[in-house]
Chains A and B, each alone.
Chain A
Amino acid sequence: MTQETATQKKSNPIVPFLRLPEKYPDEPAYLWGVLCKQCGAKFLGARTACGQCASTGPFEETRFGDEGEIYVFSIVYQTVPGLEAPYVAAIVDLDDGVSVRANVYGLDPTKPSPDWFGKRVKLFTEKVRVDREGNDIVAAKFRVVN
């Protein structure tokens, strides 16, 4: 691979509400969304209008913090070919007031427990795949913090 083609390739977030560092590689990736200034509802990513109060704005773009806790989870054993299973598929409530679907690492999938409710988790990003054009696809994941 020549230097030239390598520089053309990009890291793409797997979802629009994940923002990856662009100019400064050391900058942390983060989840972003909007806050409805009318009713206070928070959403991942951009909105046309508010799903709670139906107002068309104004919206304030919000950078969500990278910590939260597990609300609920399932452990998925049967899934699409090519995925590593089982995986802990959780709903994570971010401290900043929005929820996100997440794979959570640092838990033993063979020992699901009520202790997992409310467990503190922190966001990290990981390349999960390469797309047809050779770009890295990066996902937001969470790991348990103690």
Chain B
Amino acid sequence: MTDKSLNLILDQASPPPPCPSDKLVANMFAHMEAQMASDSTDLARNRRFMAWGSMAAALLVAFGIIANLPDSFSFGTKLSPIVAINDSIENDLTAVPSTGDYADDFANQLIGYDDISVIVPINDL
């Protein structure tokens, strides 16, 4: 069978029914209207969210600024003004040596350990 014969046979296939264009147009309009209504609802909701969100953010920023102003610092932390800083090097001749026993101080910190010698060799004390 040639392609031409096949084409002649295929020409006899059932013709499709007429396209229901009017119905398709009507359904398309209905879908568009529903979608646009839904979109406008979403838009209104988004705008409300943006408005309230912006307001809340502005309030938060305002509170932060007010709370951190030096004159009205309200987070409860005491600030001590720095009066003077002694950053001179201490003279060895005039420096008063400490009379404390540092080895004992250190050992006292370790009370409670089972075997202090494991941590600090006895000879070092």
Real complex partners, A and B?
no
Chain A interfacial positions (CB closer than 8 Å to B): none
Chain B interfacial positions (CB closer than 8 Å to A): none
